[in-house]
Structure 1
Amino acid sequence: MYALVDCNNFYASCERVFNPNLRHKPIAILSNNDGCVISRSDEAKALKLPMGAPIFKWEGFCKLNNIQIFSSNYPLYGDMSTRVMKILEQFTPDVEVYSIDEAFLEFKGFDNYDFQDYGNQMRQRILKWTGIPTCVGVAPTKTLSKVANKIARKFPNETKGVYVIDSEEKRIKALKWIKIEDVWGIGRSLQKRLKAKGCKTAFDFTQLTDDWVRKSFSIVEWRLKKDLEGISKIKLDEVKTKRAIATTRSFEYTYSNIDDIKERISTFATSCAEKLRKQGSSCHMIYVSLSSDKHKKELEQHRGSRIISLSYPTDSSLIISSKAVLAGASIFKKGIKYKRAGVVVMGLVSTNNYQLQMFDNENPKHKPLMRTIDNLNAKYTNYKIKLANQDLKRTWKMRQERLTPRYTTNINDIIFVK
């Protein structure tokens, strides 16, 4: 059996944990730079506040309907997510973290378990230990567990937040209920093709012949169909080494000064280097991009990118940052107001197993230096050591005018009990 555990309105729920006055009130969480709505409480959804709404257009609507607006507090959300996932590992060792607020669980050897009761235990422990409400869907396959979770979320009073598909009758009833466009793994293009074939529900999809699905689509769609039929073909994903690592972000404001641009690119490149070292990889190439604000049509627009090839693989922040800054400077055009930059490291190889060069190799002092920096930054968490061309006060520069405290990740923001 598989389970999908999904945190309800996760970002809004995290804010409510530390501010109980927000319970039962409409809440909206904004994207980077307070741009648009990326998370809503059920109360905000009921008021018809759309997902992705640009806040500058909807701020009047939010004030009129007393919708509380908050900037994204990613350190808090990330920490709360880790706590939830650690709790789930107490119920089974086989856990796939699917996103910041979702996880798949596989139950091997749980043949005689009451999964309704087990799901309730998971919900209650997560709620008691973190304050985050969840829904649990349990079924014989991953795809069906997604369907079961949707039912638990849609009918909280009837299911008490847990729904188990443990019979053929329940499976068919669930598939006839869920629309084809709401099935996990079915995108827009596939929707159109299936609807043209007369598939309106997931059940209709399962009635197609295997031969037709294999001929018309691919092995991926066939596996999805078998999963919906209750035959497990989609397994838990193993943790894989990334083939490329990217750090791309919008700036807090537009920058037209080359020094500001260099500082941002250096910070993004350093972040990529840290991620490389964390997964034990080194890179052969560095891709740097720079773009102006496309929404400001009245201003001169410019977008550019450049790829730097290295003569030897490296994971050194010093090398990656310096090369990325040079690439950014070559892209930079005077008079343009830039809004976004990105750094991507590519051509990844294992740091402990790659072809050495005869004459051109990395400075051997960089490896122990990077280890020391990583250890110190891990110990003091708030990135105490940076390169000299980085902003020593702020790593990520974003407009966050409605930011709440980082209750669990910053000692200065811990709540005082009076």
Structure 2
Amino acid sequence: MIGLVDCNNFYASCERVFDPRLEGRPVGVMSNNDGCVIARSQELKALGIEMGTPAFQLQSLVREGRIHLLSSNYELYGDMSARVRDVLEEYSAGVEPYSIDEMFVRFDGFDRNAMLALSRTLHRNVRKFTGIPVCVGVAPTRTLAKLANRTAKKRPEFGGVCVLEPAEVGTQRLLEDTPLGDVWGVGHRLVERLALQGLHTAWDLRCADPRAIGQRYSVVLERTVRELQGTPCFEMNDPDDARQRIMTSRSFGRMTNDMNELKDAIRQHAQRGAEKLRHQGSQTRAVLVFLKSNRHRPDLPQYSPSTIIELPEPTSDSREILAAAHQALERIYLRGYRFMKAGVMLLDLIDQPREQLSLLDSEADIARRERNQQLMATLDAMNQKMGRGTVRLGVARPDAAWQLRCAHRSSRYTTRWQELKRLGSPPRLPTTSGATQETRQRH
């Protein structure tokens, strides 16, 4: 059996853990640079505010105190997601993150009654130990587990937990009531094509011939049919598998054409990419750098270049990657254009143990390579112990254009010593933006 644990309104729930006065209030979290709403509490959804609504359109509601908008706090959300995973791993060795707020959990060898009891225990203990409310859906396949989780979330009578068996009458009724668009992996264009064939619900698709579906549409949809019938076909990728390329990019807080600011941004992205590269034990043989102008500003000249620099030998050394990135930037930069995004991508990755050494390498070359690896390992160890960015190449200016706008971000309570909650600090109501520093201690 496969369980899917989904955190309810995850970003808003993380904020509420540390500011309980936001409970029951409409809370939204904004995208990078406070541009638009990317996460909503149930109360905000009830007001009819759609996902992606520009934040400036909601400022009158913010000023009136009717809603609370917060800047995205990804460092906090990532750490809270890891804490949820830690709780789940106490009950199963097979926890597979699907996204920051969804995790599949393997439950093999349990009968239905034991599975229901265990699911309720998970539902209760994740909330108890992390403060994050979750729903749990359990079924023999991932596609059915997704539907079970959706049922647990939408129907209060399930109490946040739903266990499905393909042969049960209740499962058939659920599939009959589920439109095709709510089935995992079935997009709206595919829904239109299936409707022409007389397939409108999840039950209709479940009763279809898998082979005929595969021949007419795709192997993926054939697997979805088999999953609805109770046969596991989808396996999640191992989160520990090395990635084939590493991208680090970010939109700027404001547009800029300043070469020094662009160099600062590229330097930060290149260093972060190199850290990720070493973390997975890989090396790169090429560095891609790109810039993007603002395509939503047709009144401005548009220019979005990119280029690749091949490295003389595979490396994970931040200094060598940074030098290649700066070379690429100088090659593509042109005056007269204002850029709103920059990024670095590390390409053609190989596992470090499989690095092919040259027969022409001298002992000095080998010794130099080993010293560089030791230096990078020391840098990573210090940053892991003292906090990311403690030791870095170059200092970023806090007022640079490429820095994110996050004027209403809450504290990073769980990952920054200087932002820990101080006991005895005077309570403070949320500001008009909804940003607040008040929290509660959970033990």
Q: Same fold (TM over 0.5)?
A: yes
Q: Report if aligned partners of 1:26, 1:42 keep a CA contact under 8 Å in 2.
A: yes
The equivalent residue for 1:56 is 56
- How far residue 58 of structure 1 moved from its aligned partner, in angstroms, is 3.1
Q: Which of the numbers 409, 417, 423 marks the counterpart of 1:417?
A: 423
Matching residue's letter, 2:125: R
Cα distance in 1, alignment partners of residues 310 and 188 from structure 2:
37
SS state at 1:191 partner: helix
Matching residue's letter, 1:391: A
Q: Report if aligned partners of 1:5, 1:104 keep a CA contact under 8 Å in 2.
A: yes
Matching residue's letter, 2:96: E
| Residues 1:280 and 2:281 are matched in the alignment | yes
| Comparing 354-363 and 28-37, the one that deviates more | 354-363
Q: Report if aligned partners of 1:312, 1:357 keep a CA contact under 8 Å in 2.
A: no
SS state at 1:371 partner: helix
| Residues 1:404 and 2:390 are matched in the alignment | no
Q: Structure 1 45/65 Cα, relative in aligned 2: closer, same or farther at 3 Å?
A: farther
- How far residue 415 of structure 1 moved from its aligned partner, in angstroms, is 1.6
Unaligned runs of 5+ in 1: none
Q: Report if aligned partners of 2:210, 2:223 keep a CA contact under 8 Å in 1.
A: no
The equivalent residue for 1:171 is 171
Q: Structure 1 385/185 Cα, relative in aligned 2: closer, same or farther at 3 Å?
A: same
Q: Report if aligned partners of 1:11, 1:77 keep a CA contact under 8 Å in 2.
A: yes
| Comparing 291-300 and 314-323, the one that deviates more | 291-300
| Comparing 349-358 and 317-326, the one that deviates more | 349-358
The equivalent residue for 1:31 is 31
| Residues 1:76 and 2:81 are matched in the alignment | no
| Comparing 375-384 and 7-16, the one that deviates more | 375-384
The equivalent residue for 2:200 is 200
| Comparing 86-95 and 360-369, the one that deviates more | 360-369
Deviations 1:82-105 (A, max 9, x none): 000010011111110111100001
- How far residue 178 of structure 1 moved from its aligned partner, in angstroms, is 1.3
The equivalent residue for 1:41 is 41
Matched positions, count: 416
- How far residue 200 of structure 1 moved from its aligned partner, in angstroms, is 1.3
The equivalent residue for 1:391 is 396
Question: Does 1 or 2 have the higher relative contact order (CA < 8 Å, sep 6+)?
Answer: 2
Q: Structure 1 380/113 Cα, relative in aligned 2: closer, same or farther at 3 Å?
A: farther
The equivalent residue for 2:381 is 375
- How far residue 3 of structure 1 moved from its aligned partner, in angstroms, is 0.6
Cα distance in 2, alignment partners of residues 402 and 392 from structure 1:
20
Deviations 1:205-247 (A, max 9, x none): 1122123112112322111111111112223432321111101
Deviations 1:325-365 (A, max 9, x none): 11012111112111100111110100111222345778413
Q: Report if aligned partners of 2:211, 2:222 keep a CA contact under 8 Å in 1.
A: no
The equivalent residue for 2:246 is 245
After TM superposition, the structure 1 = structure 2 runs for residues 54-133 of structure 1, keeping only pairs within 5 Å, are: 54-63=54-63, 66-111=66-111, 114-133=114-133
Cα distance in 2, alignment partners of residues 180 and 49 from structure 1:
25
Cα distance in 2, alignment partners of residues 350 and 243 from structure 1:
10
| Comparing 114-123 and 124-133, the one that deviates more | 114-123
- How far residue 382 of structure 1 moved from its aligned partner, in angstroms, is 3.3
Matching residue's letter, 1:374: D
Q: Structure 1 176/72 Cα, relative in aligned 2: closer, same or farther at 3 Å?
A: same
SS state at 2:248 partner: strand
Q: Structure 1 11/178 Cα, relative in aligned 2: closer, same or farther at 3 Å?
A: same
Q: Structure 1 216/63 Cα, relative in aligned 2: closer, same or farther at 3 Å?
A: farther
The equivalent residue for 2:142 is 142
Q: Report if aligned partners of 1:245, 1:345 keep a CA contact under 8 Å in 2.
A: yes
| Comparing 365-374 and 163-172, the one that deviates more | 163-172
Cα distance in 1, alignment partners of residues 187 and 284 from structure 2:
33
Deviations 1:80-134 (A, max 9, x none): 1100001001111111011110000111222475222211111111111111100
- How far residue 141 of structure 1 moved from its aligned partner, in angstroms, is 1.1
Cα distance in 1, alignment partners of residues 288 and 3 from structure 2:
39
| Comparing 359-368 and 378-387, the one that deviates more | 359-368
Q: Report if aligned partners of 2:92, 2:105 keep a CA contact under 8 Å in 1.
A: yes
Q: Structure 1 413/205 Cα, relative in aligned 2: closer, same or farther at 3 Å?
A: same
Question: Percent identity at matched positions?
Answer: 39
Q: Structure 1 112/403 Cα, relative in aligned 2: closer, same or farther at 3 Å?
A: closer
Q: Which runs of 4+ in 1 moved over 6 A?
A: none
- How far residue 63 of structure 1 moved from its aligned partner, in angstroms, is 4.3
Cα distance in 1, alignment partners of residues 273 and 5 from structure 2:
30
The equivalent residue for 1:184 is 184
RMSD: 1.8
| Comparing 327-336 and 62-71, the one that deviates more | 62-71
SS state at 1:341 partner: strand
Q: Structure 1 61/199 Cα, relative in aligned 2: closer, same or farther at 3 Å?
A: farther
The equivalent residue for 1:159 is 158
Deviations 1:135-155 (A, max 9, x none): 000111111010000001101
Q: Report if aligned partners of 1:143, 1:224 keep a CA contact under 8 Å in 2.
A: yes
| Comparing 58-67 and 396-405, the one that deviates more | 58-67
| Residues 1:289 and 2:290 are matched in the alignment | yes
| Comparing 49-58 and 317-326, the one that deviates more | 49-58
- How far residue 65 of structure 1 moved from its aligned partner, in angstroms, is 7.1
| Comparing 201-210 and 165-174, the one that deviates more | 165-174
- How far residue 393 of structure 1 moved from its aligned partner, in angstroms, is 5.8
Cα distance in 2, alignment partners of residues 393 and 51 from structure 1:
30
